[in-house]
Amino acid sequence: MNPSVYLVKGREKSLRRRHPWVFSRGIQRVEGKPSLGQTVDVYDHQGQWLARGAFSPNSQIRVRVWSFEQEDINVEFFKKRLQQAQGLRETLAARDGLTGYRLIAAESDGLPGITIDRYENFLVCQLLSAGAEAQKDNLVAAMVELYPECSIYERSDVSVRKKEGLKERTGVLHGEMPPASVVIEENGVKISVDITGGHKTGFYLDQRDSREASVKYVNGKRVLNCFCYTGGFGLYALKGNAAEVINVDVSQPALDIAKANAEMNSFDVSKAQFVNADVFKLLREFRDAGEKFDVVIMDPPKFAESKAQLTGACRGYKDINMLAMQILKPGGTLLTYSCSGLMDNALFQKIIADAALDAHRDVQFIERFEQAADHPIDSAYPEGFYLKGFACYVK
Q: Is 285 in the site for ligand SAH (CB under 6 A)?
A: no
Determine, following the binding rule CB under 6 A, whether residue 365 of this chain makes contact with ligand SAH: no
Give ∠ CA 2-156-91 in degrees, rounded to 5. Answer: 85
Please give the distance of CA 1 from its chain centroid, rounded to a whole number.
37
Site for ligand SAH in 228-247 (CB under 6 A): 228-229, 232-233
125 a catalytic residue: no
Does 157 help bind ligand SAH (rule: CB under 6 A)?
no
Q: Which of 150, 228, 314, 339 is catalytic?
A: 339
Gap between the Cα atoms of 339 and 345, Å rounded: 11
Closest distance to ligand SAH from the beta carbon of 309 (Å): 15
In whole angstroms, give the CA distance from residue 169 to residue 362.
48
Give the count of residues interacting with ligand SAH (CB under 6 A). Answer: 18
Using CB under 6 A as the binding rule, whether residue 258 contacts ligand SAH is answered as no
Window of 103-111, 131-139, 274-282, 345-353 that interacts with ligand SAH by CB under 6 A: 274-282
- Asked if 273 is part of the footprint of ligand SAH (rule: CB under 6 A), the reply reads no
137: amino acid identity, one letter: D
Told to check if 369 binds ligand SAH by CB under 6 A, we report no
Question: Binding to ligand SAH by residue 133, rule CB under 6 A?
Answer: no
Buried-state track 111-143, b at ≥16 Cβ within 10 A, e below 16 = bbbbbbbbbbebbbbbbbbbbbbbbbebbbbbb
Selected from 251, 265, 273, 345, the binder of ligand SAH by CB under 6 A is 251
Round to whole Å and give the CA distance between 321 and 121: 38
Q: Which is nearer to ligand SAH, 107 or 186 (CB)?
A: 186
Helices (H), the chain: 13-16, 75-96, 130-134, 136-146, 208-214, 233-239, 252-264, 279-289, 310-326, 345-359
The catalytic residue positions are 339
- Chain residues binding ligand SAH by CB under 6 A are 204, 207, 211, 227-229, 232-233, 248-251, 254, 278-280, 299, 301
